[in-house]
Structures are given as structure tokens and as C-alpha cells.
Chains A and B, each alone.
Chain A
Amino acid sequence: MLPEIPSGFDDNIQYMKYHNKTMSNRKEFWQKQAKKLVWDQDFSEVVQENFIKGELKWFEKGKLNAFLNIFDTVKKQSGFGQDCFILMNNNSIEKKFSYREILVSTIATMELFKTKEIEKNDRVVLFLPDGKNAIISLLALSAIGAVAVPLSTSYPPTFLLEVMEDCQSKALLIDSSHQDSQYQDKIKKIKEGLNENSIYDFNSLSAKTINTAPTELVDNHEFASVDALASLFISYHPTGARKPRGYTFATGGFLVQAKYAYAQLLHNSNSSATTQKHLYFDGKYSSPTALAYGIWGCFSNGDCLILNSTSIDPKQTELAKICKVGPHTSLMIRPPRLSELAIKPDSTQDFLDRIILHGDICSPRLVKRLQNLTKKSENVVSLWIQKQSGCSIIHTLPSAPLNRPGSMGVPAFTVEPFILNDFGQSCIINQSGELVFSASWPAMATSIYNQKKRFYELHFNKYQGYFNSNDGVRKDSDGFYWFMKRLDDVFKLNGYSLSTSELETVLSGDPEIGETAVIGIEGTESGDDISLFVAPYDKTILSDPQQVENVKKIIRARINEKFGDFALPSQIQLLSELPRTKTGKLVRRLLYKIAKKDIMPHEDLSHVANPDSIETILNNNGGNSNE
């Protein structure tokens, strides 16, 4: 039997002890959290998963409606008159919307969508600027049980068209009334490439004005009862591969964890919030993080979301304005946006409630600086979130013993991270390796839309039975995790973003090729460039120039097929094995030097466990292995 989550932890050991209990009572823990939502039909099983196959199901057979869950919370807690959403422009409040306004508009929009024959499980792409329309569209789609596919307006129209094709989108939502000229240009191009009937422009849509009270409205309208396993939204990001990749997030699991994670972060507890808080989310509404914390987490706890319609420079003076929006305002931001931040706030009144850092790990120096802007130093917290993780699963918490500047923090309840070296062995304390997980959490992505095999290959294939993160980390003796580096470099090739891991996954899985290392070389005459190092499975071919050429041909053909000719490497070198350190890490820095022909005569190879692997190349490049 799992005891209630303590209201606070005296030290990290106490936290770890409770954390261990949650791991052994994982189902019980999440069942309790799930019970805080309103279900149309109870779920039969909390979780079923098979990480060997890359499969997971949370709250199977459960049915619920995401929109009604927000409605329910507001009704019980804060009341419909409370602020729901504030839109800022150049750091001034442009407009405030109460829950009443948002909920009523949502129902009106839902009805409008219904007239456009948008139904349960239909995919609808949202290409909307941050604002009320984006928010109510998301809520309205969830009320119908349709699947939102929110795309950042910064993405190119070509990508949007690819996404629409990939997810077989029923409709595209745009807003031509938005003044931004770049957005207008994109809309124009999109309209050229699409059937007008599938585009719904908020500028020309006029939802009926409703003056009825929300409670009555809800009683008088029909809302879909959605499977917990059905997608709430699909998240797409450009990857460079020919086929776009949309991560699907299941309605039940995502809502349960978003509500819980938000409450833990902003209200220090899992209990219902008593005081309404404001969350300024610095970024687009369309990312999974924004959806987890900004939209579903925030609204399902009855709090108020602040978005800025223009990109702001988060200088101290600007932040002071944000602080004044509400009495308990927190800022959620990516650390790189804060690098220029001044140190001292103007006055104590401007202190932020929380600063929540996500996306990148913030250096200890910056965290310490930010601590001057919060009421308590421990209120600067870091969340480790990836596109596929949905919610944060490793974090520092707004509690002094669980907050170490610069660290990723401690694992979230029920989550057990592992650190493996490249041989798949567990790393000892403070030894760095790749962060992986042997079990799922409710909010994590369940698949890649229509590409289950790819989901498996990208995330479960590297270490059997583990979900890999591509993040290099270490764990200290107190149980805190520390980020060290991202393991897949993303570089720009002829305008396309391409990650090394994506390319390596495709090539290394091919029995005709072998183990592959992709090295990106920035800033060549024709932009970035890539070099390929390959250790063929069949070593005997290395002595036959004809066979070596054949392998190179196969590699080029595969890259062209899966990505396009923009991703063809400038050089391919075959080796007997790839150079590695004693823990199996690829010595990419050395390969980089080889690719750039920047090898010294006495190149220091003391860190390479198998220097023989590159001896021939070094000799050919004028270097030699010393000692």
C-alpha cells in the first residue's frame, strides 16, 4: 500500500525512499492520480507495456473527455469568473479571457467544427498564431474527440503540406486576420497547394455568440466519450527524413500526468490548487511541453496561462512586467533565452513565483543568477523533457534539498532512469553514459503516427528493453542526475535539419552496411557537410577495393531513398572497427579531426581503446599513433 505523497521532503534520501516506494507501487500511484479526473468509463488496467517491442498502453478501456475535465475542475475550484488566458503583446496585456469566455467560445467553436463535419478521431492541423483561437481550437477539438495536430507557425509551408499528407488531415485551421506578414505569406503558399474546402480560416468563421451560463451549456451539448488510448494530439517536427515524424500522445495518460505534474510543480502538491496561479509560457503553444504544462496542466488545475503574441526579449525590465500580471506568476522558459538576463531585480515586488527551465539544462551559474528573481532560491527549477517524453520525468523541485543548480534533478515518482555505456552495461556513480528507461510513464508518446516500426527503431532498438533518450548524463552519489551532452548532433544540410542518430539508425540497421558513425562538419564552402565512417559487418571485404566501392554505393542509395540527395556524405571511409573509448563511446572528436584532415603527427590516442582501428587512416593522413 502506497502512503500519501508527503507534503515535503527533509532531504534527498527521504525523497529517494518515497520514490522507491512509488516504483514498486507504480500502478497504485497512477491509479490515484487518474482518479482525480472524471471518467465516462473506468479503465480496466492502469498500464500494460512491452519495452522489448516498444509498446505501451495506459488506462486501457477507460473513456473520458479532456474538455469536460477542465470544465469540471473550474466548476469545483476557481469558478468561471477567474482568468483563464492572458494574451500579451510587447509585454503589455493585450487581452484577458475568463474561463467563462473561453469555455463558451470553445463550445461555440465545437459546434462550428461539427457543422464542418469534423468528427471523433479526425486529425486536424492547427497552423495558428499564439492566441485565443489556438487555445479554443485545441479545446474544441478535444471536446469532439478529434486529434489536434498543432504546428508552429515558424515551420515552412512545405513541411505543413507533408504533415497534412502524413496524418491524412481532415482540415487545416488558419487565421488570416493575423497581421504578421511572414505568416500571411505562408498562408498564401499553403492555400496554393491545398483544396480550399479543407482549410478553415478563423477570419471567415463566425461562431455563434452564446450568452448561456457554462454549466447549462455543457448540459445542453453533446461531448464525445474518447478512448484513453486515442490520441489527444500529434506532435510533428522537421527531421530531414523524407517521411515526417509525428509522435502520438494518448488522451488518458497525457491528461493524468499533465494535471499531476503541473500541480506538483506549481502548487507543491498533488492536492487541488487553492490559490490561482499564473504561468507565463515563453514559447509556442504547439510544442508538447506547452500542451502539457501551458494548456492541459494549467487549465486542468484552474490556473491562468499567459502567452505573448510577439517574441520578447526576456530582459529584467520585461520580466518585471510579467510579474505584475498576477500575484503568483511563474515563468516557464528555455535557458538559452535567458543568457543575457541582468542580475538584480528592480524591487522585491517583482519577484517571480517560480522560474521553470525546460528544454536545455541551465548552467549552475545561470541558475544561481536566476535565483535572485524568485521569492525563494529553490523556486528556480529545471525540467528534463524531450519531445517524446510528454511531461518532465527528471526534475529539480521547488524544495531546497531537491534543488541543485545545474543538475537535471531527481527522477519523477515511478520513473526509474538507467545510465548505460555503449556496451549496454550500467555505469557506476558519476560515470557518464546514455540515459534510458526500462518502463513507461503515462504521458510519454505511444508511437509515431502510422510508423510503429520507426518508433521502435528510433527509441527501443539501441538497448533492448530500454527506451533511449540520446542524452549523455551521469548520476552522482546523492541520486541527482547531471546532463553532459546531447548524443545526436543536429546539423543543417542544404537547409534541412538532420540528426546523426537518425541517419545512423537507418544505416546501422542495414545488414549490407555495418556499424556507422556520422560526423557533421560545419561551415564548409557549401554549408555543413557530413562524413561517414563505417565498420562493415563482414570485415573480409575491406581487403577488396571492389567490394568496398559496392558498400559505398549501397550506403549512398539508402541515404537517397530514406532522406534525399541533400544528405549524401562528402566522404565515406570504411574501417575494421569504429574507434571507441574503454566504455564503448565512439570517439567522434577524433573522427571529426580525421574527416577534417586535422590529425597531428603525434595525435594523442591515449583515450582510444582500439587505436588499431584507425591506424591505417592516420598513417594515410600523415599522422601516426603514438605510444
Chain B
Amino acid sequence: MSNSFKTILDTASEITRATTLISANKRKIEQELRRPHNEIRKKLAEGKISEDKKSSILSELKALLNALLSSPRNLRDHNHCGILLTLIIALERQSSQSQGIMNRFLTREIRENFKNNPPKVLVINPGSTSTKVAWFSGNKKTHEFEIHLSPDIKDNIQTRTDSILNWMQENQLFLHQLSGISCRGGFIRPVPSGTYKVNSVMLEDLKQPKIEHASNMAIMIGRNLARRSDNKDEILLTTSDPVICDEMEMVERITGFIKIKMDGTGAHYLNHKAVHSFIASILEEKKENLNGITAHIGGGSSLARHKKDRVTGLINAFSGIPSANRSGQLDIPRVLKGIENNEITLKELKRITYSEGGLLSLAGTNDFRALSSFVKRGATEEQREKINLLFKFYARQIAQGIFKLMGDGEEVDFVAVTGGLARSSEIRSQLYEILSEHITLVFVPGSLEHESLAAGLINGLNNPGNLKNYLKERDKLAEKRKKQDSLLDTTIFKRKILYRKHGSPIKSLDQLVDSTVIKVQENFSPVIAIIGADNEDAILAAKRANQQGSYRIAKFVLIGDYEKINRIAYDYDLVIDNDNFTIEDHENPIDRGIELYDQGKVHILMKGSLHTDEILRGVFRYLKKSGKLKPGELISHSVVMDIPTRNKLTVISDAAVNPYPDNEKKIKIIQNNLKVAKYLNLSMPKIAILSAIENINKSVTSSIDADKISERFADRKDCIVEGPLSFDVAMNAKIAQEKKYAGKIQGNADILIVPDIDAGNILYKSLTTQSNAVCAGIILCGDIPIILTSRGDSARSKLASIGLSIISYFHNYKGKTR
């Protein structure tokens, strides 16, 4: 055994021993803590803890918590930290008139400043059917009420304003007493979190809110109330942490679809921020230094990740986890299927997303308490089982949301579950079970929204400089997002580079280029000799093929007139580095190209400024002389067409090299095209020998020829060769059906063998000029692929032609020396 292995083994044993010790200690703490814990909880529930007692319990609990927190985060006893913190929070919140909370939000200095003349603050928090209001006098919440509108009264800003005035009157509260009104912020425009002074721009933006929501009314109501006051100019109107806050970091904005970008809006920012601040204060940490996750679960549920006092990650209340009456994120393919099958309508989808989904859809209620009580009073066994499942489902959704937000890899100091549903014992116990061992799990039932709104305003009263300028922050954020959008919209590949499985049929010229890239990556960049490289089209094609994406599919030797090639190379920015591009100064480019091919220095030939027939003659001479052209082999041309209306490629042959081939030549042309079929990974190519008609007619010679040729291939198992076929039968399934064509090719031909050069040329040029088809051409000449490009070819077509020849080269390459 090596020394190092022994060291590892010893260390591992040490870790085991230490872990056992930690577990034993945790158990010990649990035993010791269980009794006092239960006692405090019980008394808390009964409200039997006096202020004096509370203070001594709190200091004991905090000392205990601090002791536990002093261990490193990964070894921490999260379970008991969470229990203690939850207890501390509950105790602090129990203080009368929310003073415990307010004192956490207001500094001692502020409290001293307002000690003799505590400012009166009205908090307005409209919900869908009611308006929550609270009256603060300095750090004391003296009144709090939820005003329900009578069903007979029309629900609008005016009626809600009046209802608040009535409530105030009933409670002997008066507008002139007010120093400020703090309104819950609605869907204005995205801004960072903080307290904002209400201004006309904000009011203008509220006229066209992003989402219609009750919270949008708060600022209007506040302004109406302030106007009615005698000292309206002295009333400060603010809003804090509106739902439309946005602090999300850029990486979180990306979704799987470029047109949809996330932002940080649509969450219970007010409560998220308040809870985070509250816990930071209890832990005596600056909130900037504390990483926490807060989960607000209730009618709508949202989760927020806090880092450096910014909500950098978010699961919003609309597209995140299911809530009481919102569905949360759904499986889109199933939704699409449902829409296609008319099982779901768009209207219904909208309803379940915003108001009738979630628990309401699953259980028929949006009240979790109703579920709990139904279990106790007469639910059937099955119903009980489902209810239990639903609690489990919701708890898991919340836990999964929490884990999702932990995906940034940063350590988390605590997870706080807040909102109305945090009161549910079922949800709490489920979450406790899932999370408490892993993270410090804290429960802060209900919300701290009113305290937070009031504190924000009082902070502003104390120092108006702390109030943020809505217009400035709004525009700054908009500019930032615009820049981000521009980056996120940056094009990486102009066309799609798709991953394809080996051997799958190549269906488009783009796929052909992609396959070339893979072939080249697997092997090497072949060297292509451009014969007569003083040709702009060839040079442009070469340039494109050498810079495709971040890799190149070929290197080029430019053979021909030195001066002319240099001139073109300069104009088109070719980098003549004797690797990617090399100039071969030669007066006879064909001979030189063939010589280099023979020496293995180039692998493919490409037509430049020289005539095709000159090149073909030279190559033919060489092949014959060297014995590389097998007896019976023919040089032929194939053009591979990508026709927009077809979902696969179509090969046309021979439209360039053999003008009027006889039947024997056509058979050889078919054999050559079977090679092309292999390049395109067609395992059973369908070859249609074209004629004007699909029947044999003595007056149409091509139909008789096609019949004879197809007979020669009748026994072949690796391809389907049929003829005569008219073009429409070969290419259009519907017409083939209508004409009752009996063959196997039913409008789905892969290869079209044309009767002669006239038909072929007219066919492929009409497709390129009239139907936006793009083509790639290749000359099959023994084992030497020859590339032809012409001025009429688009850049894409030229690239595809090079790609096709490279694929062809690597098909023949196996076993050859490089």
C-alpha cells in the first residue's frame, strides 16, 4: 500500500470520527432544547410571556444561536439554528404595536429624533377585494384594519379612498395629522428596490401598467387622500419596494427561447426585502453581507435570492411555482397538445395562470385552511389522501424553488419561508422535513409589509436624501437592460449549426456543411487546389470555407498567375500564410494541380479561372495514365438542390458534363449518383429516370430509354430505380396519387436522372432562379472530386459545393495515406 493511500485512509477515518461526534452533540442539543423550546412555543401561542420574561428568554436564545452560528456554515447545526431563529423572530414580533419589528427597521438615531414628536404615517395596501390599512405613530403601529367593500359599491379608486376616510373617521384619525402616506407600489416601470418619492412620472406610468393589479391603485388612493388634506404640501407620499422591482442578474434573464427574456419583476418585493432586513438585523449582520433566500407563499408565491442586498435571482409570482390560485409554470408541450386537441383554450390558460389555477384548480378552493379543516371534518379517505398529496406537492414545489435559487453556487445563510401559507402546519412540517438538515430554515408567517412601508417613509422623513428618484432610477435601469438585451441578442451563428447523429440522412445544404465540419474535425482539413486562382468567385468561396464558424473546413493552394492572385488575395483579405492559403506561381495550373494531387499535397481540385473542359481533359489524361480511372467509369456531374418546399435534398444529374448520354452512359451516371447518395447518407435512394410522361410511349424516346435503364436496376436491393417518371410524379406525392402511379417512388424521389443536358440545365436553373433553390455541384471523376462554382452561385451554394466535395473525399479517403 502506498503511503499516500494510507494517509487518505487515515484522514477518512478521522472525518468519520469527527462526524459521529458532531451528530452525537447535535442529538444532545436536541434533547436539551426540546423541553424549553416546546414550552416557549406553547406560551407564545397562548400569549402568556411577559415583556420582562421575553427579554430574558430572547437574550438566552440569541446567545445559544450565536454559539451555534460560530461553527463553519458547512458543519453548522442548521436544524437548531432554524428552530432558534424562528423562535426569536416569533418572540420579537409578539411585541405590542409591532415595535419589535419597527425597531429593527428604524435606527436608534431615527427613533431618538422622533421621540418627542412621532410622525403619523398611513399605510395603504390594496388587495383584490379589500384594502389593508395601518396607522403608525413613529415606531408604533397603533391601528391596522382590512377594509372590505360592500358588494353593492363599485370598486374603484374613489370608493376605496372614501372607505379609508370612513375608517379613519371611525378611529379618530385625521388627514391633517399625517406626515406621510406610504403606498404599496404597483406595476409602474421596473426600478431597483428602495423607497421612492411618488411623482407625476410614476402616476403617468401607472396609467398604463404592465399588469392590471389591485396594488396599482395604492399610489392613486394615497394621492387622493393627500389632496384632501389641508396640509397636503406637507404630506410625504412614498412607495417602497414595488412588485415591479428588478435587480436580477443578467445570466438569470436567459431562457431557452431567444425571444423571451426574463426580468426581475412580479414578486412580493416588499415582504422579501423586509424579511431579509429583519433577519439580518437579528443576526446583527449588515444585510449586504448576508446571503438569504426568502419564499413568500400565499395567494401568489414568489421566491427571492438576496445577494449584496440585491435580489439577484427570482422565481416570480406568475411563472414560477403554483400558488393558491395561480398555476405557476406548466409543461409547455402538454399545454400545446391540449390547445391542439381543443382541451384547453387560450382564455382558460390565461385564467389558470392569473386567478383560477393552483390550489383552486386542484382542490376547488384557494384556502389551504379549508383543506386542513376538511381533513378533520369528514373528508373521505381518498380525499384525505389527495389533500396530503397536495400539501406534499406544494412543499416540494417550494423546496425545489429554493434549491433552484441555490443554483448560483453561493452559500446561503438562511432560507425564510413567509407569507400566509407559512402558517400552515402541514406545509411547515413538510418543508421542515425536506430542508431543515441542509439549511437554516426560518418561518416568518404573514408579512412585514406594513412595517416596512411605514419604516421606508419615516426613513425618508428623517433624511429626504435617502429617497430614490423614480425617473432617474427607471431610466438608468432601462438603459442597463437595453445594453444587456443587445448582448443577449448578439448573433453567434447566422444560421443554425445543428448537432446531427452520425449517418443520419443529410436533408439540407446547411446540414451538408455541418456534416463537413464534423468530417473535418474527425480527420483533418483537406487541401483544395484552385486551378487558375485569379478568379473572384473561387477565392470568395475559399475564403468562406476557410473561416466557417470558428473552424475551417479546408485549406487552399492557389495555383496560377502570381500577380493576379496576389491582387485578389489583397482585395479579399486572404491571409497567405502558406498554411491556410498558399500561392503556387505556375504557368500551367492544371498540370501543377494534378502534380500536387499525385504527390498527395492536395486532395481536391476546384475550378478557378480555367475552363471546365480543360480541367476535365487534364484530369482524365492523368487518371487514364495512372490507371486510377477504373474501366467503365464515367466522369459526370451532379447538382444537389435544396428546394425550400421540400424537406430533403434532390440530386439532379447530369446537367453539365455529358450532354446527350446514351443508355449505357446513363447507367454509369446512375452508378455515380449512387455514390452521391452515400455522401448524403441515403440508405435506400429513390432514383427517378425522368421523361415527359410516366408511361412508355413510342413517340417519346426518353420514356423507352428510361424503361430499359430501370430494368437494369430491377434486382438491386440497395436502391429504387424507376422510370419513366414525369417530374410531377417524381416530386409530388399528391400528383403521384392522383395519377395512380403504381411504383415505389410516390413524389419522394431523391435523385432525378434527366434525359439530357437541355432538360437538366433548364430544370435546375428554373429551380434556382424561380424557386429560391440553392445548389451544390460536384464532378465525379474517379476518386478525384472536382468543385465547380460559378458567378451565379450564392455564397451559401459555393460553400455547400466545397462541403460536398470534402465529404466525397473523406468517403474515398479511408485507408489512404494522407
Contact = CB atoms under 8 A, between A and B. Distances in A.
Contact of B543 (A406, A474, A583, A607): A607
A605 B796 CA distance: 11
B363 interface: no
B376 interface: no
A626 B794 contact: yes
Which of B561, B562, B567, B573 neighbours the largest number of chain A CB atoms within 10 Å of its CB?
A: B573
26 contacts: A361-B563, A363-B563, A365-B562, A365-B585, A365-B587, A406-B562, A429-B577, A430-B575, A431-B575, A432-B570, A432-B573, A474-B575, A476-B578, A484-B570, A581-B573, A585-B570, A585-B571, A587-B571, A601-B792, A602-B794, A602-B797, A604-B794, A604-B795, A606-B795, A607-B573, A627-B795
Given A364-B585, A627-B494, A582 B573 contact: yes
Which of B570, B793, B794 neighbours the largest number of chain A CB atoms within 10 Å of its CB?
A: B570
Interface in A152-169: none
Given A474-B575, A605-B795, 12 more contacts: A363-B561, A364-B585, A432-B573, A474-B576, A484-B569, A485-B567, A600-B792, A601-B792, A602-B792, A604-B798, A606-B540, A626-B794
A223 interface: no
B224 interface: no
A482 B794 CA distance: 32
List the 5 closest pairs (A to B, CB-CB), nearest first. A363-B562, A602-B794, A484-B570, A606-B795, A485-B567
Nearest to B567: A485
A29 interface: no
A41 to B, nearest CB: 47
A432 B569 contact: yes
B795 A431 contact: no
A607 B572 CA distance: 7
Interface string B533-557: 0001100100110000000000000
Contacts of A483: 566
Interface in A393-438: 406, 429-432
B6 to A, nearest CB: 53
Interface string A480-495: 0011110000000000
Interface in A578-598: 581-583, 585, 587-589
B716 interface: no
A472 interface: yes
A482 B570 contact: no
Nearest to A588: B571
A361 B585 CA distance: 13
B62 interface: no
A484 B566 CA distance: 5
A606 B585 contact: no
Contacts of B792: 600-602
Given A406-B562, A602-B792, A430 B577 contact: yes
B570 A485 contact: yes
A583 B571 contact: no
Interface in A360-409: 361, 363-365, 406
A477 B578 CA distance: 10
A589 B572 CA distance: 9
B208 to A, nearest CB: 33
A589 B568 CA distance: 9
A472 B585 contact: no
B647 interface: no
Interface string B758-790: 000000000001000000000000000000000
Interface in B112-166: none
Contact of B562 (A364, A472, A587, A601): A364
Given A406-B585, A627-B795, A431 B570 contact: no
Interface residues of B, number: 33
Contacts of A430: 575-577
A150 B562 CA distance: 34
B644 to A, nearest CB: 14
Tier of interface size on chain A: 20 to 34
B586 interface: yes
A604 B542 CA distance: 12
Contacts, number: 84
Interface in B579-603: 585-587
Interface in B341-382: none
A288 B527 CA distance: 45
A604 B540 contact: yes
B791 interface: yes
A472 B570 contact: yes
Interface in A445-489: 472, 474, 476-477, 482-485
Interface in B10-53: none
Interface string A312-341: 000000000000000000000000000000
Contacts of B587: 365
A602 B570 CA distance: 23
Contacts of A582: 573
A522 to B, nearest CB: 15
A9 to B, nearest CB: 22
Nearest to B798: A604
A68 to B, nearest CB: 44
Contacts of B794: 602, 604, 626-627
B642 to A, nearest CB: 13
Contacts of A482: 566, 576
Nearest to A368: B585
B540 A607 contact: yes
A607 B566 CA distance: 17
A431 B573 contact: yes
A247 to B, nearest CB: 26
B552 to A, nearest CB: 15
B541 to A, nearest CB: 8
A482 B494 CA distance: 34
B586 to A, nearest CB: 7
Contacts of A432: 569-570, 573-576
A627 B585 CA distance: 34
Nearest to B561: A363
B571 A589 contact: yes
B562 A484 contact: no
B772 to A, nearest CB: 10
A589 B791 CA distance: 14
Contacts of B572: 581, 607
Interface in A527-574: none
Nearest to A360: B563
Contacts of B536: 589
Contacts of B796: 626-627
Nearest to B796: A627
Given A363-B562, A365-B586, A406-B562, A585 B573 contact: yes
Contacts of A581: 571-573
A484 B577 contact: no
Nearest to B543: A607
A363 B563 CA distance: 7
Nearest to B797: A602
A430 B546 CA distance: 15
A601 B772 CA distance: 11
Contacts of A583: 573
B575 A604 contact: no
A583 B571 CA distance: 10
Contacts of B793: 602, 604
Contacts of A587: 571
A427 B402 CA distance: 52
Nearest to A433: B570
Contacts of B574: 432
Nearest to B562: A363
Contacts of B576: 430, 432, 474, 482
A364 B537 CA distance: 25
Contacts of B570: 432, 472, 484-485, 585
A588 to B, nearest CB: 7
B543 to A, nearest CB: 6
Contacts of B567: 484-485
Contacts of A364: 562, 585
A364 B578 CA distance: 14
